[in-house]
Amino acid sequence: MSIPNVVGQVDGERIYKHVMRLEGVKHPIASPQKLNEAADYILSELKQYGLATNEQKFKVPGFDGTFRNVEGSIKGGEGPELLIGSHYDTVENSPGANDNASGVAVMLEAARLLSKQEGIHNVRFVSFTLEEGNPAFALRSREAAQRLGLRDVSDRYTSLEAHNLMRKFWQTYRKYLALGNNPSEANAKAKAELEMNMSEAMIKYAEEMQAMYEGISTTSWPGKTGCMGSSFWVEEALKAKRKVSGMLCLETVGYTSDQEGSQHLPRGMKPEMYQTSKAVSPNVGNFLAIIGDANSGQLIKQFSAQSQHGQIDLPCASLQVPFRFEQIAMGMGDLIRSDHAPFWRQGIPALFLTDTADFRYPYYHTPADTIDKLDFDFITKTCKATIATTISLTNS
């Protein structure tokens, strides 16, 4: 099987059309119909490619509804499977062209081409739901904010003061979460830092959120407050004793910038920690980040090598964090914010493949996350590298 021949067939037009089709708010509260339509679309595409498809359904405690992970597989052996994963849900105010229609589009185009190849076996394509959050918690948060007069029935902040302070509160919460605090601790620290400027209603809201998060640990939040579909998938795979050789997580892979200072790094990360290829600088956001834990060295090696092939030519910066999930969660929480995290937690090799989201993308989780912001040459190269890596890993 010729890798250059296969990657030469990647169709950027198809990738663009997938993003067009998937762009739009897909959220269990704000737009449940669109969330289901996206799952239907992905399932239909996988069926068209001739893959064996499946809908993995699950419930969320405290929320009325059924959710679906959608998957298609290329079978052909008894060995472990390689997963290529993405998530198709969005936050409630964003059309999610980059986060994460870009990742789903790469997964679908990889599935189309790999399904045609002789010798490819034991590859599974999975698009997860509820990566962005727990709908039961989101509903409780919304109801509390409305009851306390902080938000109106359209879920808008009722005053400029509430808009500014509550945005600052959640930014501060995320800062403490990334530093290794559990959600309840991060909430309490954010409240303590901002309390002097908060109204009585805001303080009451923060206290209710702190109580809601009680009992969720730094290492258990993937599956409790986010990454819910992927956590469920991993739990079911362990029960079934399914063997997984590795997972490639396509998460927000569509934005680049050539401006100096356009790229920022998570807390604890320094430019010299990354190995770069064709990247101008760790401070310039024109590369794909390839991040793995202590178990994922072989995956990093393969994906980085395939990215450098002349026909792919994908600028990348790779990092193998020399720790396992628990240590990463305790001090580098920004590195477990997507669907690779449940795999790391179980010692399964996985790559976090990303344009780094809010560390580069100014439209992250906003209404401006639209298709016109995306670099489709970059997305196409990411798809080529994903396909080449899958062929290389499958053949070996």
Same domain flag for 380 and 256: yes
The model's confidence at residue 119, banded by pLDDT at 50, 70 and 90, is confident
Same domain flag for 322 and 199: no
In a domain, 30, yes or no: yes
User: Higher pLDDT residue, 16 or 2?
Assistant: 16
Same domain flag for 61 and 189: no
Cβ neighbours for 277, distance < 8 A, ≥ 6 positions apart: 304, 307, 308, 315, 316, 317, 318
Decide if 255 contacts 354 (C-beta within 8 A): no
Coil vs helix vs strand at 383: helix
In the prediction, which pLDDT does 77 show? 73
What's the token pair of residue 307?
């990215």
End-to-end CA distance of the chain, in Å? 12
Same domain flag for 158 and 97: no
Q: Which amino acid is at 221?
A: W
In the prediction, which pLDDT does 346 show? 98
Mean pLDDT within 230-243:
97
- Look up the domain containing 308 and give its range: 3-132+223-395
Q: Which of 346, 250, 330, 254 is nearest to 296 (CA)?
A: 346
Q: Each residue of 27-71: pLDDT tens digit?
A: 999 999 999 999 999 999 999 999 999 999 999 999 999 999 999
Cα–Cα distance between 340 and 115 in angstroms, integer? 23
Mean pLDDT within 96-111:
98
Q: Is the preceding omega at residue 100 within 30 degrees of 0, hence cis?
A: yes
The model's confidence at residue 118, banded by pLDDT at 50, 70 and 90, is confident
DSSP code for 196: G
Cα–Cα distance between 49 and 301 in angstroms, integer? 29
In the prediction, which pLDDT does 204 show? 98
Last residue of a domain, one of 193, 212, 231: 212
Domain of residue 375, CATH code: 3.40.630.10
Q: Which of 331, 326, 337 is nearest to 359 (CA)?
A: 337
- Judged against a pLDDT cut of 90, whether residue 317 lies above it is answered with yes
In the prediction, which pLDDT does 267 show? 81
Same domain flag for 292 and 337: yes
The model's confidence at residue 185, banded by pLDDT at 50, 70 and 90, is very high
Same domain flag for 36 and 145: no
In a domain, 179, yes or no: yes
Mean pLDDT in the chain?
Answer: 96
In the prediction, which pLDDT does 36 show? 98
The model's confidence at residue 389, banded by pLDDT at 50, 70 and 90, is very high
Same domain flag for 93 and 29: yes
In a domain, 217, yes or no: no
Last residue of a domain, one of 191, 212, 233: 212
Same domain flag for 206 and 105: no
Same domain flag for 239 and 287: yes
In a domain, 218, yes or no: no
Residues in the chain: 396
Same domain flag for 240 and 359: yes
In a domain, 301, yes or no: yes
Q: Which percentage of the chain shows pLDDT scores above 90?
A: 91
Last residue of a domain, one of 212, 235, 264: 212
Mean pLDDT within 156-180:
94
Counting the structural domains of the chain, the total is: 2
What pTM did the predictor assign? 0.96
In the prediction, which pLDDT does 80 show? 94
Same domain flag for 124 and 172: no
Mean pLDDT within 185-207:
97
Same domain flag for 128 and 141: no
In the prediction, which pLDDT does 161 show? 96
In a domain, 184, yes or no: yes
- Judged against a pLDDT cut of 90, whether residue 1 lies above it is answered with no
